[in-house]
Amino acid sequence: MKKLLLLLFVSITMIAYSQKVKLLSGDFSALKDQTEVNVELVFDNNVTFQAENFTESQYLENRKNDILNNPKKTKDDWVKWNDEWKDFKETKYMEKFLKGINHKSKNIVFKNNIQSKYTLVVKTVWIYAGWSGGFVMQPAKLTSEIQLIETSNPSNVLFRVDSTGIEGVGISENPNSEYIMEYGRISVAYEKTGRLLWKAIAKQNKW
């Protein structure tokens, strides 16, 4: 058992330090003279879930059935879970992404709903929710399409970034609580995506 846990820890650690985002077009130089950048997180009806590429409605229906078919759970448990899901989707995923991209930034600050020359658009494409089973955990995975646009002229795209299958591991201050529920694991993947994007930006701009 100890060997299994050690192997799992090593595997997760290797994933945490080997992942990166990929610049598809443009470069990060437009950010050099900026102090603030607006961030928009898009989570629409086109997001797919799990290996089966469920729609959000299908994914939620499956989770509802899982909860209501559990003899230890009640309808109130489903209502609580669903309320938390909405809260994370509407506020906390953005908060986590901003926490990630701002975690070492001294030159520029990324914020939501501000007026700025550029807007960073983070479009959620695909989510794998992962699972948690005591000492063993499978992290969430997140695929996003990220681009920097000129706020007043959205057709002017300064860069595009590929962010595929980013796993939410290796960064959480309190992993036990965040990894228990799906929305917590997913939020860590947003934070990880922000950190990896900042790392790429800082490296190119020599910050």
Tell me the per-residue pLDDT of 51-77, one tens digit each, with 9 for 90 and over. Answer: 999 999 999 999 999 999 999 999 999
User: What six digits make up the tokens of 38?
Assistant: 């607006």
Q: What is the pLDDT of residue 200?
A: 97
| Residue carrying structure tokens 């000129």 | 150
- The segments of the chain whose pLDDT lies below 50 read 1-17
Euclidean distance between CA atoms 57 and 42, whole angstroms: 17
Q: What is the pLDDT of residue 175?
A: 63
User: What six digits make up the tokens of 153?
Assistant: 């002229």
Helical spans, DSSP H, in 31-151: 56-68, 75-87, 93-101
Indicate the domain borders of the chain: 2-56+90-205
Q: What is the pLDDT of residue 119?
A: 98
Which residues have CB under 8 Å from 137's CB, separation 6+?
A: 130, 131, 179, 185
Q: Is the CATH code 3.30.160 the one for domain 2-56+90-205? A: yes
User: What six digits make up the tokens of 86?
Assistant: 């909405």
Q: Which of 142, 152, 84, 155 is nearest to 115 (CA)?
A: 152
Give how far Cα 62 sits from Cα of 71, 98, 126, Å: 16, 30, 17
Q: What is the pLDDT of residue 10?
A: 38
Give the number of C-alpha atoms closer than 13 A to the C-alpha of residue 63, restricted to the C-beta side: 23
Q: What is the pLDDT of residue 196?
A: 97
3-state secondary structure of 105: coil
Q: What is the pLDDT of residue 173?
A: 63
